[in-house]
Amino acid sequence: MTLRHGRDYHRQVVTIADVARAAGVSPSTVSYVLSGKRPISEEVRRRVQRSIQKLGYHPNAGARALASSRSNVLAVVIPLRTDLNVPVVMQFVAAAVTEARKHDHDVLLLTKDEGPEGLRRVAASSIADALIVMDVEANEPRLPVLRALDRPVVLIGVPDETGGLTCVDLDFTAAGSACVTHLAELGHREIALIGPSPAVYKRGTSYAGRFLRGFRQAASKRKIRASSFPCPPSYDELRTRLDEVFTRHPGVTGLVVHNEAILGSLLSELSRRGKQVPQDISVLAVCPEDMAEAHALPLTSIALPTAELGGLAVEMAMRQLNGGAGQSEVRLLSPKLIDRGSTGPVVA
């Protein structure tokens, strides 16, 4: 290959043939040492390993992908908007990357903005072996494309009709219900939900609706007066919502907060208003555990297990990839409530 520019960035360093030569075996043997797909004598294995080390061999990804029809890359599709809670999204991504590496895969980042054509492109060009899709809507428009993709797909979130796709998520319906139950058992009779941004509902984001449904159903079953206040992520908006809550529903003694972005503001605003938590008002959050713990007053919460969900999504994709395909699966993790002291009994 010729040297084209000041620096040649296109040089293949070491090939499998180099390793084979150095170890005195055939290329196929090196390949099998690497893949473990057939028995190799200890003697040979060691020689090959040593040559690999010594030469600093790394298999060429393109060649491997071409020959094996496996790219060892996982595509993760994320939203790029800011109305979605960015830190939460990143927790999912981080978990996915970590788990993917355990399966010898890398993660390719796709944005929702690329649309269906992006999904098709990545799948059809065999850039990725499988896809993990986040920010799923109840009436998910990408479903037909995803189903036609001919690759494993795992949704983090559950659309109304899964259409045979694999999904994993927190059981938000149960979570909504669990919130009501917890507060009801503490004697609360009137509660309010500070929910995600109206934009999230409007878009039909899957988890928001499911949570609200569980919340409302449980409330009506238990004869609890429950109201819902979607809240954009800003201090001012939050303050307005609180005004609404306390003027329209002066009897509210418990707040359920399903909105990570305004947790901090909520606590400071409550304290500014002279409301003690939990004496004057109980606060129950739905959020990742670290976010529940990161406040002056640690929050009782239903954990959003981002690490577990991200990891599971990858595992499920891998299982499909390795033959466990066929059965579509919808996996809903049961909500776990952790009492950190921000909820308490109603004081008469």
Partner DNA sequence: TTGAAAGCGTTACCAG
Partner DNA sequence: CTGGTAACGCTTTCAA
Contact set for DNA, span 41-80 (CB under 7 A): 41, 43-45, 57-60, 63-64, 66-68
Q: CA 48 to CA 57: how far, in whole Å?
A: 11
Residue 130 backbone zone (phi > 0: left; psi -120 to 50: alpha; other: beta):
beta
Check residue 168 for interaction with DNA (CB under 7 A): no
Helix, strand, coil fractions of the chain, as percent rounded to 5: 45, 15, 35
Check residue 7 for interaction with a copy of itself (CB under 8 A): yes
Segment 9 to 48, residues that bind DNA, using CB under 7 A? 12, 14-17, 24-29, 31-32, 34-35, 37-41, 43-45
CB 80 within 8 A of CB 112: yes
Q: Which stretch binds a copy of itself (CB under 8 A): 38-46, 124-132, 182-190, 329-337?
A: 124-132
Question: Which of DNA, a copy of itself, none binds 40 (CB below 5-8 Å, type-dependent)?
Answer: DNA
Segment 242 to 271, residues that bind a copy of itself, using CB under 8 A? 264-265, 267-269
Query: Which residues make beta-bridge pairs with 285?
Result: 257, 301
Segment 9 to 28, residues that bind a copy of itself, using CB under 8 A? 9-14
The CB-of-149 to DNA minimum distance in angstroms stands at 17
Q: Which stretch binds a copy of itself (CB under 8 A): 61-69, 192-200, 208-216, 244-252?
A: 61-69
Q: Which is nearer to a copy of itself, 54 or 101 (CB)?
A: 101
Q: Taking the C-alpha atoms of 281, 282, 286 and 289 in order, what is their torsion angle to the nearest 10 degrees?
A: 120
- The contact mask relative to a copy of itself for 306-345 (x = CB under 8 A, - = no) is --------------xx-xxxxx------------------
Among 290, 330, 341, 345, binds a copy of itself (CB under 8 A): 290
Question: Which of a copy of itself, DNA, none binds 186 (CB below 5-8 Å, type-dependent)?
Answer: none
- Per-residue H/E/C for 278-315: CCCCEEEEEECHHHHHCCCCCCEEEECCHHHHHHHHHH
Question: Which of DNA, a copy of itself, none binds 187 (CB below 5-8 Å, type-dependent)?
Answer: none
Among 111, 139, 220, 276, binds a copy of itself (CB under 8 A): 111
Q: Which stretch binds a copy of itself (CB under 8 A): 5-13, 24-32, 191-199, 331-339?
A: 5-13
Among 39, 296, 334, 348, binds a copy of itself (CB under 8 A): 296
Q: Which is nearer to a copy of itself, 136 or 267 (CB)?
A: 267
Check residue 60 for interaction with a copy of itself (CB under 8 A): yes
- Per-residue H/E/C for 173-223: HHHHHHHHHHHHHCCCCEEEEEECCHHHHHCCEHHHHHHHHHHHHHHHHCC
Q: CA 320 to CA 256: how far, in whole Å?
A: 37
Segment 160 to 219, residues that bind a copy of itself, using CB under 8 A? none
Q: In what order do the strands lie in the sheet with 254-257?
A: 225-230, 190-195, 254-257, 282-287, 300-303, 337-338
Check residue 3 for interaction with a copy of itself (CB under 8 A): no
Residues contacting DNA: total by CB under 7 A: 32
Query: Which residues make beta-bridge pairs with 153?
Result: 131
CB 94 within 8 A of CB 118: no
Structure tokens at 67: 């020959």
Among 36, 39, 42, 69, binds a copy of itself (CB under 8 A): 69
Q: CA 307 to CA 94: how far, in whole Å?
A: 8
CB 282 within 8 A of CB 343: yes
For the chain, the C-alpha Rg in angstroms (whole number) is: 26
Q: Which residues bind DNA (CB under 7 A)?
A: 12, 14-17, 24-29, 31-32, 34-35, 37-41, 43-45, 57-60, 63-64, 66-68
